[in-house]
Structure 1
Amino acid sequence: MAEKLTGLALARAALTSRKTAVMLALGFASGLPFVLLIGTLNAWLGELKVSLATIGVLSWIGLAYAFKFLWSPVVDRTRPPLIARFGRRRSWLVLCQVVLGLLLWGLAATDPIAAIGSFAVLAVTAAFFSATQDVVIDAWRIEIADERATVEILSAIYQLGNRIAALAGGALALVLAARLGWPAIYTGFGVVMLALAAVTMLAPEAPDPEADARAPLEGHAVPDRRRRAIALGVVAVCWGWAILMLARFMVSALTPAAPGATAPSAGDFTKFWGPWIVVATVVVPALVSAWANGFASAVRGDPSIGAAGRAADHCYRALILPLSEIVSRLRWGAAVVVALILAYRICDSIWAPFAFPFYLDFLGYTNDEVAFASKLFGVLMTIVGVALGGFLFATLGRMPTLLAGAVAAAASNLLYADLALGGAGIDVFAGLFGLDRLGALSGADARMVRLMIAISGENIAGGLAGAAFVAYISSIVSKHYSAVQYALLSSLTFLVGALGRAAMGEAIEQVGYASVFRFTAALGLVAIGLVLLEWWRGAPREPAERSVPAV
C-alpha cells in the first residue's frame, strides 16, 4: 500500500493530478450556466426594457436548482441512452454540457421581445440541465476522491472553478456585452460549454461499479411495499401539482393577453396559491415522513427484491427518509427549523433577479461600473462578510451569529431603499467616515461611491448571513444522512424567495423600488423572530448517534 501523503506533499500531488484539473473544469461548467441564467440574463432583459413583472416570472427558472433533489435518484441510478458507454457519471455530464451549449445558442438566436415564450422555454430547459449537471458533479466529486485528491481538496478546487465562472459569466459578460451585444456573449459561452464537454471526456470514471451498493443511505430501513408506495405516491402528487401550477401560471403570464383581456397577476397568484404550494411541497411531505417513520422497520437490502423494488427503496431513502429522520428527532421543533430555513435568506433572495435592472436601468450605471462594483469589488466584500461570520462564531457562538446575519440582511435592504431615493443617507455615512474623500483619491465620483457602499453593505451582510446559515444547517443534519439532508434543507431556501419574485417584479412597477426594499426589510423581521424562537428552543442540539443497520 502506498504511503499516505500529508501537508505540502499532499497538496503538490493533488494539484498535479488529472482529477483536480478536471474538477476545476467541472466547477467552471457548474457555475457558468447558473450565473448566465439566474443573474446575467436579467441584465439582458432589463436592457431591452422587458417589464419587471416578466423578469420576476422568468426568475422561477431558479426553482430547478431547488427541485433537483426530486430527480436526483433517477440520475444517480441510470445512464442516458446512446452515450451510456461513456460511463455512469461521464455520460450524464457530457449530455448536460452539450445540451447546455446548444440551449445557450438558442437563447442567443431568440428575440426576448418578440418571442418571450420561446425564450422562457429555452431558459427553463437550460436550468433543468444545469441543475442535473450539478447533481452529477456532486456525486462524481465524492466517488472519485482518493488519498491524494481528497474530497476536501476537490471541493476547494470545485469552489475555485465556480468563482471563476461567476466572474466570467458576470463581470466579463457585462463588460463584453456593452461592446459586442448580448447574443454574441451567449453564443460565445455556448461554445465554451461544448469545449467543456470535450474536457469532461478526459474525466476518470468512478472506479467502483458497486458504489451504489455502499451509498450512505443504503443501510437504512424502509416501510413495507404498500406503505412505501403510499408515501412516495402522496409526495409525488403534491410535488407534481405544485410544479404544474407554477408552470401553468408561468405560461399564462408570458403569453400576450388578448385585446381587452386582463393579464394574470403574479401578486394575486402568490397571495392565493403561494401558501398552498408551500403546504404541498413542505408541510405534506413532512407529515407523510412522520407517518412513514413509524413503519420503517425493514432494511430490505437484498438484491432478490428486484430492480424496481431497489429503485423504489432508493427513492424513498433519498426523498422521504432524510425529512423523516429530522421530524422524528426534533418533533415539534422541526416546524421551527423548517420555517427558519424557509424565511432566513428571503431578504436577499427575493429581489436578486432585479439587481441588474435596478443598477443599469433605474439608476443608470454603465455595464463597466456595475461589473466592477458588483462582480469584482462585491466579491471582496462577500469574503469580508464570511470572515466576519467566522470571527463572530469564534467569539459569540452559532446562534448569536445567526441572529446577527438575519439583522444585517434586513438592514441591507434599507440601505438599498436609501439608494433608490437618491442616497442621501449613504452620502452622510460616506462623509462621516471619509469614504467620499477616499473614493475621490481612487478616481470614483460621489455617485460611484454610493453604489459601492450599498453593494458593500449588501455583500457583507450576505456573506455573514450565508456563513451563519450554512453552519446552522450543518448543525441540524444527522451524521448518517448529512449529504442528503443538507441538500434537501438547503433546497428549501430557494422556495419562498422564488415564489415571491414574480409578485415582487409586479410590485416594483406599481410602487417603486424604495417601497419594495422597505417591505423586504420588514420581511426580515420574520427571520429574526424565528431565530429568537429557535434560540429559545435550545437548538440546535447535536444529532444523537444512532446505529446503522447492516445491509
Structure 2
Amino acid sequence: MTDQATPAEEVAALRPQPKGFGVIKAAFRERRTLAMLLLGFSAGLPFAMLFGTLNAWLSEVDVSVATIGILSWVGLFGAFKFLWSPAVGLRLPLVARMGRRRSWLVVCQSVLALVFIVIAASHPTGGAIGVLAMAAAVGAFASATQDIVIDTWRIEAADDGLPVDLLSSVYQLGFRTAALVGGAGALVLADTAGWTATFVAAAVLMGLGLAGSLIAPEPAVVADQAVARERVGSPRLRRAALLVTLAAWAWAAFMLIRFMITALTTVPAPSAGQFIQSWGPGIVAAAVLLPAALAGALVWRGRSAVSTGQESMGVGDRFYDAILAPLVELMGRLGWGALIVLGLVLSYRITDGVWGPFAYPFYLGTEGGGLGRTMTEVALASKTFGVVMTILGIGLGGWALVVVGRMPCLLIGAVLSAATNLLMMDLAMGAPVIDPFMRATGLYGLFGAFGVGEPLARLMAAIAGENIAGGFAGAAFVAYLSALSNRLFGAVQFAVFASLALLIGTLGRAPLGELVDREGFAPMFQFAALIGLVAVAFCLLEWVRLTFERRKLERATVGAAD
C-alpha cells in the first residue's frame, strides 16, 4: 500500500485539532486562500447561471415548459462527474507548461466564458433553442470538470499551515457569493440591462476564476511509483477487476448519452429527475459500489502481492492506476470502516437535499400548509436574505472548524440540519411556536423596522435558521470529504463522494412528493428531520471509529518505542 496514506495519517487528518484565530489570521495572508476564494466563485457562477438564471430567461420569453425540460438533463453532468474524473490527471497539450491543475482550470474557465458569450448572442425562441441547449450542455460539462479540478487542487494544496478545513470553508464562501451574484444579482441586472448584457457580464466575471487559476500555486506532481504501489493482487486479478469496472463504466456512460440524445430529440423531453429515479441506483451500483467491492476484494486477496512501483507500466496498468487504484487505496485504508463512511456520505446532506424541489411550492402555494407568499417576497427571503444567511453559516463553520475541530463540527452540523426542518414544519402548521417566540423576543419589531410584515418575517426567520445550519453543515461536510480523500487520488475519490451525496437526495424526492400530495407539507418536514437523525448516528459511529483507530495507533507507537 502507498506510504502516502497510512492509517496514522488518516487518523491525524480526521481528529480534532483546535488552533484558534492564529490559523485564520495566517491563512488570510496566504496566496492560496485568495486563489481558493476566487476558484470557489468560479465554481458557483456557472451553477447559478446555467441551472437557475437561464431557466428564468426561458420562462420570461414564454418558452414552453416542454422545451425548458430539454435543458433539465444538463444537471446530470454534476451528478455523474466521477465517470470522467480520472481524465483530469492527464496533461493537456499546448497548455501543459502551466501545470497539470492550472492548465485544466484555465481551459474549463475559458470554455465557460465562451459558453456565456454564445448564450448571450442567442435568443431562446425559434431555431436558436437548439444552439442554446448545446451551449448549456457544453457549459455544464465544463463546469463539472472544473469542479473536479478545484476539489483536487484544494486537497493537494492544503497543509498544516493552511488546513483543508479552512480552505474548504473559503471555497464555500466563494461559491455562495457567486450564487448570490449569479442568482439575485443576475435577475436585477437582467431587469435593467437585459439578458444579453447579463450573460456577457457572467463571461467577464469568469475572469475572476482565471485570476484564481493563475495565482494558485501548482501542487507537486505525484510520482508514478507512489500510485503504482496500489497495484495489489496478481496481474491477472487486476486485469479482471479492471475489465469488469470498465464494462460497468461503459454501460453507465451509454445510459447517460442515450438519455441525453433522447432529451434533445423527443418532445416533450423526458425528465432528468425521473431518469435518476429509475436508473440512478443502477448506475451508482455499477459504477461505484461494484468497483469498490472489487477494490476491497483485491485488498483482501492481494496483500502479499503488492507492486514495488519499479516495474514497467503497460496501458492496462495506467487504466488501473487511474480508475481502480483510488478505490483500492480507500478500501485498504478504511477497511470495514468504509461501511460507516459510506453511510455518513449518503445520509449527511439528505435532510436538506431531499425537499429542495418542494421549496417553491411550499413558499408560493396555499394547499397542504403552503404559505401563499408572492414571488417578490420569496425572492427577497430565499434568494437574497437566505443566501446571506448561508454565507454566515459557512463563516461560522469555518471558524468552528479551526477552533473545536472537524468531528465536533460535523456532528453539530448534522444535529442542526435535522432540527431546523422543524422550523419549516412549524410554519406549515400555522407557526404555533415561531409566532409566540418572535413576539416574545421582539423579532417582529426588528423585521418591521425594515418594512417586513409578520407572515414574511416568520418565513425569513425560519429560512435564517435553516440556511445558517445548512451553511455550517456544508462547510464541515466538504472539509470532512476533503480530508478523507488521499491527495494522491483526490480527483476520483472526492468526485465519487460528492456524486453519492448528491444522488441520494434526488432518489427520495418522488415518495416525498406523494406524501405532500396526500398529507401536506408538515409531514414531509417531519420526515426530513427524522432522516437527519440517521446522519447524526453515523457521525457518532465515525467519531468512535476514529477514536478507536487513534488509540490503537498510540498503543502501537508506545510499543515500538519500548
Report TM bin, short chain. Answer: 0.7 to 0.9
2:229 equivalent to 1:223: no
Find the aligned partners of 1:55 and 1:129 in 2 and give their Cα distance: 21
The 3 A distance-change label for structure 1 pair 496 and 22 is: closer
Q: RMSD between aligned alpha carbons?
A: 4.8
The 3 A distance-change label for structure 1 pair 242 and 122 is: same
CA contact (8 A) 2:295 2:331 kept: yes
2:451 equivalent to 1:443: yes
The 3 A distance-change label for structure 1 pair 57 and 411 is: farther
Please name the residue that 2:560 is paired with.
none
The answer for unaligned runs of 5 or more in structure 1 is 1-6
Query: What do the CA deviations read for 1:98-126 (whole angstroms, capped 9, x no partner)?
Result: 11011123334455576766555433322
CA contact (8 A) 2:113 2:203 kept: yes
CA contact (8 A) 1:96 1:129 kept: yes
Q: Secondary structure at the match of 2:545?
A: coil
The 3 A distance-change label for structure 1 pair 183 and 231 is: farther
Q: Secondary structure at the match of 1:186?
A: helix
The 3 A distance-change label for structure 1 pair 354 and 283 is: same
Find the aligned partners of 1:253 and 1:520 in 2 and give their Cα distance: 32
The 3 A distance-change label for structure 1 pair 459 and 196 is: closer
Q: Secondary structure at the match of 2:520?
A: helix
The 3 A distance-change label for structure 1 pair 63 and 514 is: farther
Find the aligned partners of 1:481 and 1:86 in 2 and give their Cα distance: 21
2:239 equivalent to 1:242: no
93-102 or 150-159, which moves further after superposition? 150-159
CA contact (8 A) 2:73 2:271 kept: no
Question: What letter is aligned with 2:236?
Answer: R
Please name the residue that 1:374 is paired with.
386
Find the aligned partners of 2:496 and 2:121 in 1 and give their Cα distance: 36
Please name the residue that 1:342 is paired with.
346
Please name the residue that 1:179 is paired with.
192
Q: Secondary structure at the match of 1:223?
A: coil
Find the aligned partners of 2:154 and 2:90 in 1 and give their Cα distance: 16
The 3 A distance-change label for structure 1 pair 58 and 411 is: farther
Please name the residue that 1:497 is paired with.
505
Question: What letter is aligned with 2:318?
Answer: A
Q: Secondary structure at the match of 2:44?
A: helix
Q: Secondary structure at the match of 1:539?
A: helix
> TM-score, normalised on structure 1?
0.74
The answer for unaligned runs of 5 or more in structure 2 is 1-20, 366-371, 558-562
Question: What letter is aligned with 2:202?
Answer: F
Which of 183, 207, 212 in structure 1 is aligned with 2:222?
A: 212
Report the CA distance between 1:95 and its aligned residue: 1.4
Please name the residue that 2:474 is paired with.
466
Question: What letter is aligned with 1:436?
Answer: Y
Report the CA distance between 1:91 and its aligned residue: 2.8
Report the CA distance between 1:96 and its aligned residue: 0.9
Question: What letter is aligned with 2:107?
Answer: L
Please name the residue that 1:3 is paired with.
none
Report the CA distance between 1:273 and its aligned residue: 3.3
Report the CA distance between 1:160 and its aligned residue: 5.2
CA contact (8 A) 1:344 1:527 kept: yes
2:291 equivalent to 1:285: yes
Please name the residue that 1:192 is paired with.
205
Q: Secondary structure at the match of 2:222?
A: helix
Query: What do the CA deviations read for 1:240-267 (whole angstroms, capped 9, x no partner)?
Result: 4334434544554575547xxxx75777
524-533 or 172-181, which moves further after superposition? 524-533
The 3 A distance-change label for structure 1 pair 215 and 444 is: farther
1:22-421 to 2 correspondences below 5 Å: 24-41=37-54, 43-44=56-57, 61-79=74-92, 81-110=93-122, 119-140=132-153, 161-193=174-206, 195-196=207-208, 199=211, 202-203=214-215, 206=218, 211-213=221-223, 217-249=227-259, 252=262, 257=267, 269=275, 272-293=278-299, 294-295=301-302, 297-302=305-310, 304-306=312-314, 308=315, 311-316=318-323, 318-325=325-332, 329-330=335-336, 334-352=338-356, 355=359, 363-366=373-376, 367=379, 370-381=382-393, 383=395, 398=407, 405-406=413-414, 408-416=416-424, 419=427
CA contact (8 A) 2:105 2:150 kept: yes
2:424 equivalent to 1:433: no
Report the CA distance between 1:190 and its aligned residue: 1.4
Find the aligned partners of 2:289 and 2:345 in 1 and give their Cα distance: 13
Q: Secondary structure at the match of 1:299?
A: coil
Report the CA distance between 1:213 and its aligned residue: 0.8
The 3 A distance-change label for structure 1 pair 108 and 249 is: same
Report the CA distance between 1:469 and its aligned residue: 4.0
The 3 A distance-change label for structure 1 pair 497 and 255 is: farther
Find the aligned partners of 1:525 and 1:375 in 2 and give their Cα distance: 25
Q: Secondary structure at the match of 1:489?
A: helix
Find the aligned partners of 1:106 and 1:246 in 2 and give their Cα distance: 25
Report the CA distance between 1:149 and its aligned residue: 8.6
CA contact (8 A) 1:418 1:424 kept: yes
Question: What letter is aligned with 1:273?
Answer: W
Find the aligned partners of 1:10 and 1:342 in 2 and give their Cα distance: 30
Report the CA distance between 1:172 and its aligned residue: 2.2
Query: What do the CA deviations read for 1:119-149 (whole angstroms, capped 9, x no partner)?
Result: 5543332222123223334555676789999
Query: What do the CA deviations read for 1:144-178 (whole angstroms, capped 9, x no partner)?
Result: 78999998887676555445434322342233233
The 3 A distance-change label for structure 1 pair 147 and 225 is: same
CA contact (8 A) 1:385 1:461 kept: no
Question: What letter is aligned with 2:439?
Answer: G
Find the aligned partners of 1:363 and 1:405 in 2 and give their Cα distance: 29
CA contact (8 A) 1:242 1:280 kept: yes
Please name the residue that 2:461 is paired with.
453
CA contact (8 A) 2:44 2:178 kept: yes
Aligned length: 521
CA contact (8 A) 2:81 2:495 kept: no
The 3 A distance-change label for structure 1 pair 64 and 490 is: same
Question: What letter is aligned with 1:245?
Answer: M
The 3 A distance-change label for structure 1 pair 436 and 131 is: same
Find the aligned partners of 1:41 and 1:354 in 2 and give their Cα distance: 20
The 3 A distance-change label for structure 1 pair 514 and 95 is: farther
Report the CA distance between 1:311 and its aligned residue: 2.2
Find the aligned partners of 1:428 and 1:50 in 2 and give their Cα distance: 44
Find the aligned partners of 1:105 and 1:339 in 2 and give their Cα distance: 42
Q: Quick one: percent identity of the two aligned structures?
A: 43
Question: What letter is aligned with 1:229?
Answer: R
Question: What letter is aligned with 2:549?
Answer: E
Find the aligned partners of 1:132 and 1:218 in 2 and give their Cα distance: 25
Please name the residue that 2:16 is paired with.
none
Please name the residue that 1:4 is paired with.
none
340-349 or 180-189, which moves further after superposition? 180-189
The 3 A distance-change label for structure 1 pair 318 and 453 is: farther
The 3 A distance-change label for structure 1 pair 264 and 196 is: closer
Question: What letter is aligned with 1:519?
Answer: M
Find the aligned partners of 2:94 and 2:483 in 1 and give their Cα distance: 43
Find the aligned partners of 1:351 and 1:56 in 2 and give their Cα distance: 20
2:533 equivalent to 1:528: yes
Question: What letter is aligned with 1:281?
Answer: A
CA contact (8 A) 1:117 1:255 kept: no
